[in-house]
A and B are shown apart, each in its own frame.
Chain A
Amino acid sequence: MACVCVAACAAVQGQQPTNAPSATMPATGLLSTRTLLRYDRYDETIAGTGAIERIRLEQELMYGVAPDWVAFAVVPGEHREANPPGAPGGDDTGLGDATLGVRHRLIRRDPGPLDTFRASASLAVRLPTGDDAFSADAPAFIVGAESTAILGRHGFNAAAKYELITGSAPEPLDAGSTLADHARLALAYLYRLDPAAYDASTEASVYTQLELIGHVLTNGDHGLELAPGVLIEGRRWAAEASVIVPLTEETGGRPEKQIGVAFGLRLLF
């Protein structure tokens, strides 16, 4: 019932890093979309000699339903290939589980024309709507908190979320797709490369970003990833690119990630 209401009321935001959520959100009545194309390469631990390559296309919608409230939906599509072909976890294409949620801005302090500090909280549910090969076949309940500080050319983001998992994907690759609950902590720093100072003619800005993402699962798995990247923001669009490099990984029976790349495009309507 709650999910139906969220959908009936119906994400892309300013200065949001590629992998870490931010506390910025579209204004009431505005819709933002984000298309994120991810490529990830994993060790194929069962065969021992190969790799699993995954291309994942995530479509995110975020709509401002009321002042300080947004609703969002994320629907992923996925293609996997195993090398050598036929290994478990590879050679499949389909939809992943969709996520529906709401985010509420709890704090907003704007000390200057550009400077701001914001904090928000999120509630979401990931529904078992995906194809059999990629679906957990049970919902996951997600609670999160996000904060964003922008001071001149510097932007800082910190976000945490906890996923209460009730089902597992058949061939899990990521933290959160196994049966163990998943806690994720993400920190991000953005630096505005250009322009050095805004004026009335500013149409776009370019940022470099550095993210640190930590995973802890209740089965003892954990991991830490570093993600440098670039973000370009126009007035009604943003483009982003990020490379995800695992620093440490303890994945139990899951394949270990070797590297990830993400490209994104956001549009504001």
Chain B
Amino acid sequence: MCGVFRSAVCAAFLVGMFLISASGCAARTGEHSHRHGEAAAPVDDASIASAEAVTLSPGEAAARVNGLSCPLCAESLIATVDRIDGVDGASLDLGTGTLRLQIGKRPPEATAIARAVNDAGFTFVGFVEP
């Protein structure tokens, strides 16, 4: 009986690992497509929807972010935002949760910033005056 139970748990584990790995890879593929503009993920978050009304222009921009937790987490966010085309630089004030962006000559979509913040594991609150 114990052997049957163990075998069942092992089998369920392997199936679970496979499904999770497959969904993880699939999600990654989706993100890749979105970055190249081939497919856009649906707007599923109110804060991202609010960013749709914002048009970024070259110069400085700022956004409020929640859930930053610690310096290491903050750097993780900066590294993510820095990868967005059109963002020339980013810094973060941990005290106020303010993400400061240096926007280049070809500004990114505001929703791209919002999505990147959320996908990095934080909560985008909204754009604020720089």
In the complex, B52 has a CB within 8 A of chain A: no
Q: Are A6 and B17 in contact (CB under 8 A)?
A: yes
CA distance A237 to B75 in the complex (A): 10
Contact for A27 among B17, B25, B70, B76, CB less than 8 A: B76
Q: Are B71 and A102 in contact (CB under 8 A)?
A: no
Q: Are A141 and B10 in contact (CB under 8 A)?
A: yes
Q: Are B123 and A3 in contact (CB under 8 A)?
A: no
CA distance A111 to B68 in the complex (A): 10
Q: Which residues of A contact B80 (CB under 8 A)?
A: 27-30
Q: Are B121 and A15 in contact (CB under 8 A)?
A: no
Q: Which residues of B contact A110 (CB under 8 A)?
A: 66-67, 122-123
CA distance A199 to B10 in the complex (A): 49
> Given the known A-B contacts A114-B69, A199-B93, A205-B71, are A30 and B76 also in contact in the complex, defined by CB atoms under 8 Å?
yes
In the complex, B60 has a CB within 8 A of chain A: no
Q: Are A234 and B76 in contact (CB under 8 A)?
A: no
Contact for A235 among B9, B21, B75, CB less than 8 A: B75
In the complex, the chain A residue whose C-beta lies closest to that of B9 is A164
Q: Which residues of B contact A237 (CB under 8 A)?
A: 72
In the complex, the chain A residue whose C-beta lies closest to that of B94 is A198
In the complex, the chain B residue whose C-beta lies closest to that of A198 is B94
Q: Are B123 and A13 in contact (CB under 8 A)?
A: no
CA distance A234 to B72 in the complex (A): 6
> For residues 50 through 95 of chain A, which have their beta carbon under 8 Å from a beta carbon of chain B?
65-69, 71
Query: Shortest distance in angstroms between B105's beta carbon and chain A's nearest beta carbon?
Result: 25
Mask, A141-159, CB within 8 Å of B = 1, is 1010000001000000000
Q: Which residues of A contact B69 (CB under 8 A)?
A: 14-15, 24, 114, 116, 150
Q: Are A67 and B95 in contact (CB under 8 A)?
A: no
Q: Are B94 and A67 in contact (CB under 8 A)?
A: no
> For residues 23 through 38 of chain B, which have their beta carbon under 8 Å from a beta carbon of chain A?
23-25, 27-28, 31
Q: Are B17 and A123 in contact (CB under 8 A)?
A: yes
Q: Are A65 and B25 in contact (CB under 8 A)?
A: yes
Q: Which residues of B contact A197 (CB under 8 A)?
A: 95
CA distance A29 to B6 in the complex (A): 36
CA distance A202 to B75 in the complex (A): 11
In the complex, the chain B residue whose C-beta lies closest to that of A104 is B20
In the complex, A26 has a CB within 8 A of chain B: yes
Q: Which residues of B contact A113 (CB under 8 A)?
A: 64-68, 94-97
In the complex, A9 has a CB within 8 A of chain B: yes
> Given the known A-B contacts A26-B76, A102-B17, are A66 and B31 also in contact in the complex, defined by CB atoms under 8 Å?
yes
CA distance A99 to B100 in the complex (A): 39
Contact for B73 among A8, A14, A67, CB less than 8 A: A14
Q: Which residues of A contact B23 (CB under 8 A)?
A: 69
Mask, B91-106, CB within 8 Å of A = 1, is 1111111000000000
Contact for A25 among B21, B22, B119, B121, CB less than 8 A: B121
> Given the known A-B contacts A9-B28, A66-B31, are A199 and B6 also in contact in the complex, defined by CB atoms under 8 Å?
no
Q: Which residues of B contact A71 (CB under 8 A)?
A: 21, 24
Mask, A117-141, CB within 8 Å of B = 1, is 0000001010000000000000001
On A, residues with C-beta under 8 Å from B are 1-3, 5-6, 8-9, 12-15, 24-30, 65-69, 71, 102, 104-105, 108, 110-116, 123, 125, 141, 143, 150, 164, 166, 197-200, 202-205, 233-238, 266, 268
Closest 3 CB pairs of A and B: A113-B97, A110-B67, A2-B17
5 pairs, CB–CB < 8 Å, chain A vs chain B: A28-B80, A68-B121, A123-B16, A166-B6, A200-B95
